[in-house]
């Protein structure tokens, strides 16, 4: 392995070894974020919500069960860079198709291993999310370029280009037709709906309310995705039109934020976000606590939620908004991932709640 370095915009340098595609002198820039999952590294790598980011795994050993393509959340990895303490080169699992390092090299992902990820995570927690570059030449980093890096047009970068159908054999009268508005969807969202007998039509982010209505859906799913939610002005405007149809809507992650913006709320960037499979969420209606999978760097500002909506879920650690129920339209949304993948299945019942809304007409 060759030497490689992570240089943060505050000047801190972490030296280690290249993993996957070797870094060159120019390096690869990204927003440095950390995720706390002990497992689920394949789902993390293939989650489109990590578009434009350098992902740090806090768990010290990653790759021990190798590469398992059926567990992917999309066809390929999305992070610009991947940072580990230690990568297992000899995975042990009957489903494994090979080591993680080989996948990263094959897919052109620049990786770095052998650094103190706990120290790095502490810096991000104290200083907040910042930009970084993985490079082979830490002495010649362009800090103006590094500090000026920003994730732009993220949803357009990850959304499907073509319409396709999941579970197409469901016939009229046997199941509901869901349109999944693709902002960077994890595959398990469509799988979770298909498992409940739904036919899921996945459409690009650029679809209009009129185009979606022509598909005659029983419900619409607003999925996860990357970037600043407020950047998606066109989607927000079309969603506002669509909600007038009174067709049931379920929003997850970025979809939750975009629905809130369409209804008049605002969003804000968090200091370092929530990423991992161990976030506790409290239901304000029942008081119950669920452990959830999350991946987001923005949140809906609680004080901005309109009067025709209920702050249904809050994060038990920091009190941030985790879910909203709307009173005047058949819609609800959550910041966390009820499809888990990877993570706890505590909140998978929310898909059944969505089905129930459609059954109620």
Question: pLDDT of 8-39, one tens digit each?
Answer: 999 999 999 999 999 988 899 999 999 999 99
Contact residues for 109 (Cβ-Cβ < 8 A; gap 6+): 20, 21, 45, 77, 79, 81, 82, 103
Residue 253 a catalytic site member: yes
The answer to whether residue 67 scores a pLDDT higher than 80 is yes
Distance of alpha carbon 186 from alpha carbon 351, whole angstroms: 15
Residue 339 a catalytic site member: yes
Distance of alpha carbon 105 from alpha carbon 210, whole angstroms: 43
Q: Are 180 and 201 in contact (CB under 8 A)?
A: yes
DSSP code, position 304: G
- Give residue-wise pLDDT tens across range 225-251: 999 999 999 999 999 999 999 999 999
Q: Among the options 31, 43, 322, 339, which is catalytic?
A: 339
**pLDDT reported for residue 315:** 98
Domains of the chain as residue ranges with CATH: 3-151 (3.50.30.20), 155-360 (3.40.50.880)
- Give residue-wise pLDDT tens across range 69-111: 999 999 999 999 999 999 999 999 999 999 999 999 999 999 9
Structure-model confidence comparison of residues 24 and 124, the more confident one: 124
Closest CA to 156 of 220, 213, 231: 231
Distance of alpha carbon 184 from alpha carbon 222, whole angstroms: 10
201 — pLDDT class (breaks 50, 70, 90): very high
Q: Are 267 and 230 in contact (CB under 8 A)?
A: yes
- Give me the percent of the chain exceeding a pLDDT of 90: 96
The answer to whether residue 170 scores a pLDDT higher than 90 is no
68 — pLDDT class (breaks 50, 70, 90): very high
Q: Among the options 256, 274, 296, 337, which is catalytic?
A: 337
**pLDDT reported for residue 173:** 58
Q: Among the options 253, 296, 321, 322, which is catalytic?
A: 253
171 — pLDDT class (breaks 50, 70, 90): low
Q: Please state the rounded mean pLDDT for residues 284-304.
A: 98
Using DSSP bridges, classify how beta strands 267-283 and 289-300 pair: parallel, antiparallel or unpaired: antiparallel
In this structure, the number of other CB atoms found within 10 A of the CB of residue 145 comes to 13
DSSP code, position 329: S
Average pLDDT, the chain: 96
Q: Please state the rounded mean pLDDT for residues 202-215.
A: 98
Distance of alpha carbon 132 from alpha carbon 27, whole angstroms: 10
Q: Strands, DSSP E only, in 206-306?
A: 219-222, 249-252, 267-283, 289-300
Is the pTM above the cut of 0.85? yes
Residue 73 a catalytic site member: no
The answer to whether residue 164 scores a pLDDT higher than 90 is yes
The answer to whether residue 116 scores a pLDDT higher than 90 is yes
**pLDDT reported for residue 172:** 59
- Sign of the Cα torsion 287, 250, 49, 268 reads negative
Characterize 319-349 residue by residue with b for buried, 16 or more Cβ atoms within 10 angstroms of its Cβ, and e for exposed. Answer: ebbbbbebeebbbbbbbbbbbbbbbeebbee
């Amino acid at each position: 392995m060759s030497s490689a370095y992570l240089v943060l915009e505050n000047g801190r340098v972490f030296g280690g070894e290249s993993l996957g595609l070797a870094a060159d002198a120019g390096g690869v820039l990204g927003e440095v974020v950390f995720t706390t999952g002990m497992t689920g590294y394949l789902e993390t790598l293939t989650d489109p919500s990590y578009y434009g980011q350098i992902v740090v795994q806090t768990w010290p050993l990653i790759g021990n069960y190798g590469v398992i393509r059926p567990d992917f959340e999309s066809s390929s990895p999305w992070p610009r860079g991947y940072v580990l303490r230690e990568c297992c080169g000899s995975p042990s699992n009957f489903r494994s198709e090979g080591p993680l390092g080989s996948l990263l090299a094959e897919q052109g992902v620049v990786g770095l291993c052998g650094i103190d990820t706990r120290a790095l995570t502490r810096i991000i927690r104290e200083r907040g999310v910042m930009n970084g570059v993985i490079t082979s030449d830490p002495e010649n980093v362009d800090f103006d370029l590094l500090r000026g890096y920003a994730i732009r047009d993220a949803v357009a970068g990850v959304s499907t280009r073509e319409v396709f159908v999941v579970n197409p054999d469901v016939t009229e009268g046997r199941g509901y037709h869901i349109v999944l508005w693709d902002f960077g969807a994890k595959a398990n969202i469509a799988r979770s709906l298909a498992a409940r007998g739904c036919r899921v039509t996945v459409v690009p982010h650029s679809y209009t309310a009129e185009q979606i209505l022509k598909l005659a859906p029983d419900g619409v799913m607003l999925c996860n995705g990357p970037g600043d939610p407020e950047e998606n002005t066109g989607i927000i405007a079309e969603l506002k039109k669509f909600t007038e149809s009174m067709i049931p809507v379920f929003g997850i992650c970025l979809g939750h934020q975009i629905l809130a913006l369409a209804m008049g709320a605002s969003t804000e960037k968090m200091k370092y976000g929530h990423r991992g499979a161990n976030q506790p969420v409290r239901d304000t209606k029942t008081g119950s606590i669920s452990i959830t999978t999350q991946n987001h760097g923005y949140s809906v500002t609680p004080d901005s939620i309109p009067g025709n909506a209920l702050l249904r879920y809050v994060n038990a650690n920091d009190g941030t908004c985790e879910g909203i129920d709307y009173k005047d339209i058949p819609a609800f949304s959550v910041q966390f991932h009820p499809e888990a993948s990877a993570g706890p299945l505590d909140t998978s019942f929310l898909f059944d709640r969505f089905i129930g809304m459609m059954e109620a007409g």
